[in-house]
Amino acid sequence: MENPTMLASGIMGETGGSLLAMAKGGAGALVTKSIGSVPRQGHKNPTLVELEFGYMNAMGLPNPGIEAFGEEMYEASKAGIPIVGSVFGSSAEEFASLARKMQGYGAEALELNLSCPHAKGYGMEMGVDPDVVAGIIKEVKAAVVIPVFAKLTPNTHKLIEVAKAAEDAGADAIVAINTLKAMKIDVDARMPVLSNRYGGLSGPAVRGVGVRCVYELFEALKIPVIGVGGVEDWRSALEYIMAGAVAVQIGSGVGRVGTQVFGDVCSGISAYMAENGFRDITQLVGVAHD
């Protein structure tokens, strides 16, 4: 990666064209939308609500299916930067099958979505069990030769236990965090706003949780941690990096700030480094632990 920013999964990552647009914005790497074995429509509207401090969504993992996604990967490859293929499944075998196909499409790494809080039968239901997570990681590692990242949920008291299980099973990095399970009530309609009732909270509202999780994971693990959750400027990116993240993913920030958020973050970090005498971004990784 030429810089430590990545497009987070779920935002502008479903088509080759949208991924290319994020590359033009300055992202150092691109993470695709989470892709499953078959096309999936997701939940009925309303699936997204904008809040004063971020977003709440319950999309339900809509995607075109892995067979149709090869064309989008080919288009996105024109960006000339690393593409991380995000996949979700209901079993270790399904994850492995999807991983093989993503590798075949040219993905340079895989992100296993083990943490979606609003799609029954997928994600978080499996991602809070250390043994299940370890089994998925082992199956995927046996199926591919590219790096495998495990994206974990903050909606469990077993985060460190799950992360260590992933590390022991061969995961190459941990991505933290996915959205926080949340809810919004329309007081005039006297009912939940989202059709699924519950959704995932993202944006600045979750940054403090994300930074804390990265800080704890950095102390507990030997493998790298990638931070995500509420990064919208260079200061919030540096919070994660100083907590121990080797890179940051940006999702909600694309919607709230614009595609220039990647370039703005990098320019701000570069200026901070020059002003404070840092020559390499790695000098800042985990400095808050010193």
Max distance between CA atoms of the chain, in angstroms, equals 55
Distance CA 223, CA 261 (A): 27
126: exposed, middle or buried (Cβ count in 10 Å: 0-12, 13-18, 19+):
buried
Active site residue 116: yes
Residue 108 CA, chain-centre distance (Å), reads: 15
Which segments of the chain are extended strands (E)? 5-7, 29-31, 48-51, 54-57, 83-87, 109-113, 148-151, 173-176, 180-183, 185-186, 191-192, 198-202, 225-228, 245-250
Contact criterion met (CB below 8 Å) for 55 and 203: yes
- Considering 81, 116, 119, 124, which one is annotated as catalytic? 116
Catalytic center residues = 116
